[in-house]
Structure 1
Amino acid sequence: MSTAEIEKVFQSGASDAEIIAALQEPQPMLREKAIALAARHLPPEMLGRFVGNDENAVLRNAALAALERQGPYAVPHLVALSRGENAEVAMFAVQILSRIKDAGSAQALLPLLEHGDSNIAQAAIEALGALKAREAVPGLIRLLDADLWLQFAAVAALGEIGDQRAVQPLLDAVPNDMLSEPAVDALGRIASPEALPRLLTLLADHERLPLRDGVLKACAAILEAQHAPPSVFTRFRRKLDEERRDQDVIDYLGGLLGSDEAALARAAASVTLAAHLEKLYPAVVQRALSADPEEARWTAALCRRHERTVRAALRDLLRNGDPRVRRGALMCAPADPPTVAVLVPMMADRDAGVRAAACQALGRCRDMSAIPALIELFGRGTPPESVAAAEALGSMPGQSLVALAPYLELEGKVLPALEILAAARSPLFPDKIVELLDASQAPVRRAALRVLVNHDQMDVEEHLVRKLQDSDESVRIEAVELLVRNGSTRAVPALVGLLVVSDELRYHAIRALGRLHAETAAAELERLFPRATGHERLEILAALIRIGAPGLLPFLKARLKDSEAEVRRVAADGLARVAPASDLPLLVKLAQDPDWTIRNHAGWGLGRLALPQGRDALLALVRDTEAVVARTARAALAKLPQT
């Protein structure tokens, strides 16, 4: 039985007893559905009584889950339970408050830091950490001298809160073998430069794992968040030299740079560049060649942050005997004109991969002096080099690509040449581009259209409207998309004319009219709606919502009665976006709809209006059986004026 079916049964007259019985179902899936319904139907006071039932663990756990799902609705009662005489219930209440993360409960939790029951105190510590309650920092620092388990919890909470006042107390806790790892982790979360000198000393002195790994990650977190003065690393390198620890640290970091442990490898790269550990630069730049695109991008971005360091080492890296190091250095090279003189010779490197990487690096520099060499490789290089050269040329100023003219006459090169001109937003070769609009190959015609829109001196709209009649559907669709991108309001009549066709183009025309906010097309779109196909009906609704013409509200309200669920959902979404304050009763009604998607849209709309009169409806949605609706309602409640 689905949740909706069970809900229907309850709405037809089921008693609280039936819901309570369902909470004790042995089947986990059915019990989960019952929890969702209990959150909707049972008051927090009743659920709180079940939390105190230590003879029925199944019912207790189900009640705890239901209270958590009730969110802000249950907070006042949970605060009251946290102050009650039943220590176990109080602990459970605090834990739920921690997971609900309602900022208003922080003040109620502060006195519990000193609670005589360590379980309640620990739960309060964890809750205040989850709430990032800065007002709890002094009390948490005092707990660093308390019972060991409370120390653990306090250290973690201070890291979660991220307040600078905790830095020195946490540094003082690092020598404690029991607290060293969590304290280091907390310092990394706070990311204060104040902690960096001590952490670097630890990195050099401590070979024991996993503490050393934690110290490394904490150092990297600080470097990511803050600028560290160079003097900190000058002292670090001096320490390594004087104590002959440099090879040990280099071996440790080098091993991580060559590993698959992404988090530690990134941390090692950050510390390597910040500390100017030159022996490890080749290992760092090779990570820009990672098969993981995100890892490669991250490494290149890190090198940009350390541009001066990379620039100083670039010539040596490009002379490295390993082509992977040379390629990696090119991927990480500074993207500016002064670098061009170093990069151009690399286009003659003996390794094709290096030559391709040099093209890409020159493209990032956008220096026109590199164009002749790039044109040469575009025309005569190996396929990877030609592709890389094309990508680089597409980054150049559009007016600087005159040398591409011959390639517009070559059958095998005309398409990539057009793609270069489109990427560079080039206004060159207007007559040739117009000629290519009628080329025999559809991909060439599409590419010519993309170049055409960069020619401000031409009547671009006239050509785009003409291509709406092209024999190839993909070209017609391209013309529609470019008309929208150009904001071509003159094309609206032609696009309206396409509404009479029945192929894929009509869908794109509907979408285009919406994106152009074509108010003059609204009436025609409304007339088309009854005979449109399923996906077109949805796009018509979306287009009309975008246009926002007079008459939109009645049209959307009528669609709420449509037999198709998805149409009702899109209409509800539109009403949530545009309904005025006078339509708040309609949104309140939609908040009770059997369809959870519509309830979700209604909750968002109530948050957009932010009227106090919508509070009760949102408090009901906070307990919704669908978690996403409950989250939307919580976010909406936060927008309402505080009472």
Structure 2
Amino acid sequence: MTSLAQDDTHFQSLLEQLKDPNMCISAAKRLGELGDTRAVEPLIATLQNQNEQVPTRVREHAAESLGNLGHTRAVEPLIATLQDQSQLVRWRAAESLGKLGDARAVEPLIAALQDQDYNVVNGAIRSLGLLGDARAIKPLMTFAKNRDTWRRACAGKSLGLLGIIEPLIASLNHRNVHVRYSAAESLGELGDARAFEPLIAALQEDQDERVRLSAAESLGKLGDARAVEPLIAALYDRHHHVYMSATRALGELGDARAFEPLITFLHHQIPGKRSCAARCLGKLGDIEPLLALLQDQQELVRCNAALDLGELGDTRAVEPLLALLQDRDKQVRRITAESLGKLGDARAVEPLIACLQDQDHDVIRHAAQSLGKLGASRAIKALSILFENSSNPSVKKAAREALQQLEQK
């Protein structure tokens, strides 16, 4: 049977399960995950079914799945569902209308801001931000001054999506730390250059480390080189997590001024600081510190270095990683096997085949997955033997999937 035929059989099976009281909840959820728009009408019918025998949760998942499928045929049914008796169904409908991006939902969602249920209102706030319609600005401004910290943060982010970032900037000075933290985070996600100076002030002056770390990460996302020196200064923050956020941000900015300060942290007594510094230097184009950390005494540092080298995709790491397949720590071997698959270098094939004899199931599983990614036909025999002889379900699954990948090459 072809994969298309298998997919259609699975789809039809889920439609049948949608009618089964014992299976309808999971079926409604899975239909949204499949992405097949043929499910729209059956899901609408499920959403509109008010029969007491239909579980509320299946209607809730139907509303969610209609948003995931992204078909505007669902707009009107979802708008009608904003009046449903179940607050869970109303909440999912409000969230889904934002995903569909249809302006018909704006006024109904503004009306939903008066709903008695907390989650429904928050869902409407988020969706109004996603829809990007100026009609939502005035009602959202009211919520941006709300005493509820979570609601205030949610409204501020939605206003930011509408181009109104002043409430978020003002929230950086709010007495509640959660409001300040959320505002700093949202300003980074929005990427508006007007947030640069306020975020610098938050990084340098806020008394709470959560706000400072959020400001550091957001400055990295803004991509403004003026942040380099303040972020270098933040490397010496008394709180470890602020240091980590500053290193990540410097890696994002890619400015050579960060080299020398970061090199001083490569021999820091705290393993996490060594790892973060090396990772950032790798992003700046220097993988030598990461290669050196493959020999670190701490297993966690070696794990992080192997992981980062796989993410960076520099084939200079292949030979050092091959040596690490013999590491005494199984987690290090597992991550190394995974990273070698990401690097896509044929030199890893034979060593990864040898890893199929490892004593640890997770190492074997990741070695099998990497062999599938590498497309190495000479691994077929070893993978076939593994599939036949292994009693571990996850290992058998990895071997089967790797063999399927190799057969398609």
Normalised TM-score (structure 1): 0.49
Give 2:213's aligned residue: 446
* 1:533 to 2:298 alignment: yes
Q: Is the 8 A contact 1:538 1:570 kept in 2?
A: yes
What residue is the counterpart of 2:263 in the other structure? 496
Match of 1:389, SS?
Answer: helix
Report the AA paired with residue 254 of structure 1. Answer: N
Partner amino acid, structure 2, of 1:623: E
- Secondary structure (helix, strand or coil) at the match of 1:255 reads coil
Structure 1 residue 468 corresponds to structure 2 residue 265: no
Q: Counterpart of 1:634?
A: 400
Cα distance change on mapping 1:574 and 1:385 into 2, 3 Å: closer
Distance change in 2, residues 1:395/1:563 (3 Å): same
CA distance in 2, matches of 1:327, 1:430: 34
Q: Is the 8 A contact 2:279 2:290 kept in 1?
A: no
Structure number with greater Rg is: 1
Aligned pair partner of 1:617 in 371, 382, 385: 382
Cα deviation, residue 365, structure 1: 2.2
Cα distance, 1:538 vs. partner? 1.8
CA change 1:189–1:487 in 2 (3 A) is farther
**Aligned to 2:388, what secondary structure does the other structure show?**
coil
2:275 to 507, 512, 536: 507
Aligned residue runs from structure 1 range 158-177, under 5 A: none
Distance 1:368 1:525, change over 3 A: same
SS at match of 1:470: coil
Cα deviation for residue 545 of structure 1 reads 4.1
The CA deviation string for residues 4-42 of structure 1, in whole angstroms up to 9 with x for no partner, is xxxxxxxxxxxxxxxxxxxxxxxxxxxxxxxxxxxxxxx
CA 1:411–1:256 in structure 2 vs 1: closer, same or farther (change >3 Å)?
same
Alignment correspondent of 1:542: 307
Tell me the amino acid that sits aligned with residue 256 of structure 1: Q
Range 423-432 or range 321-330, more displaced: 321-330
Match of 1:389 in 2: 155
Counterparts in 2 of 1:358 and 1:632: CA distance versus 1, 3 Å: closer
- 1:44-98 deviation digits (Å, cap 9, x = unpaired): xxxxxxxxxxxxxxxxxxxxxxxxxxxxxxxxxxxxxxxxxxxxxxxxxxxxxxx
Indicate yes or no: 2:53 matched with 1:256: yes
In the aligned structure 1, how far is the partner of 2:78 from the partner of 2:49?
Answer: 25
Question: In structure 2, which of residues 194, 202, 210 is the aligned counterpart of residue 428 of structure 1?
Answer: 194
Does residue 1:379 correspond to 2:379, yes or no? no
Deviations 1:586-619 (A, max 9, x none): 4444444455555445444544454554443333
Greater RCO (CA < 8 Å, at least 6 residues apart): 1
Mapping 1:378-417, distance limit 5 Å: 378-383=144-149, 385-397=151-163, 400-412=164-176, 414-417=180-183
Q: Is the 1:553–1:575 Cα contact (8 Å) retained in structure 2?
A: yes
Contact 1:599 1:629 in 2 (8 A): yes
Q: Structure 2: how far apart are the matches of 1:553 and 1:229?
A: 47
Q: Is the 8 A contact 1:464 1:479 kept in 2?
A: yes
Change (3 A) 1:490 1:613: same
Contact 2:315 2:345 in 1 (8 A): no
Closer, same or farther: CA 299–494 of 1 in aligned 2, 3 Å: same
Q: CA RMSD in A?
A: 4.8
Q: In structure 2, how many angstroms separate the alpha carbons of the residues matched to 1:636 and 1:325? A: 41
2:89 & 2:319 partners in 1: Cα distance? 65
- Residue type of the alignment partner of 1:306: R
Percent of pairs identical after alignment? 22
Partners of 2:221 and 2:376 in 1: how far apart? Answer: 47
Counting only pairs closer than 5 Å after superposition, residues 13-92 of structure 1 correspond to structure 2 as none
Aligned to 1:368: 134
Alpha-carbon offset, residue 535 of structure 1: 0.7
From the superposition, tell whether residues 608 and 251 of structure 1 become closer, same or farther in structure 2 (CA, over 3 Å). Answer: closer
> Any idea what the Cα deviations from partners look like across 1:471-496, whole Å, max 9, x if unmatched?
22221111122233445565344333
List runs of 5+ in structure 1 lacking aligned partners. Answer: 1-130, 135-158, 164-185, 192-198, 200-208, 237-248, 267-286, 288-293
2:250 maps to which of 483, 498, 505: 483
Q: With structure 2 as the length reference, what TM-score do the two structures score?
A: 0.72
CA 1:306–1:381: 2 relative to 1, 3 Å: farther
Give the superposition deviation at 1:362: 2.4
Structure 1 CA distance, aligned partners of 2:280 and 2:204? 24
The within-5 A match list for 1:557-568 is 557-568=322-333
**For the residues of structure 2 that align with 1:636 and 1:469, how far apart are their CA atoms?**
46
Equivalent pair of 1:415/1:443 in contact (CA under 8 Å)? yes
* Residue 189 of structure 1, aligned match among 13, 17, 22: 13
Contact 1:390 1:416 in 2 (8 A): no
- What are the residue-to-residue correspondences of 1:86-101 with 2, within 5 Å? none
Contact 1:393 1:424 in 2 (8 A): no
Q: 1:496 to 1:295 in 2, by over 3 A?
A: farther
> Do the aligned residues in 2 keep the contact of 1:304 with 1:332 (CA within 8 Å)?
no
SS state of the match for residue 428, structure 1? helix
Distance, in Å, in 2 between the alignment partners of 1:577 and 1:328 is: 37
Contact 2:232 2:261 in 1 (8 A): yes
The 8 Å contact of residues 513 and 521 in structure 1, kept in 2 or not, is answered as yes
Q: How many Å separate the matches in 1 of 2:291 and 2:358?
A: 25
Shift of 1:467: 1.3
Shift of 1:321: 9.6
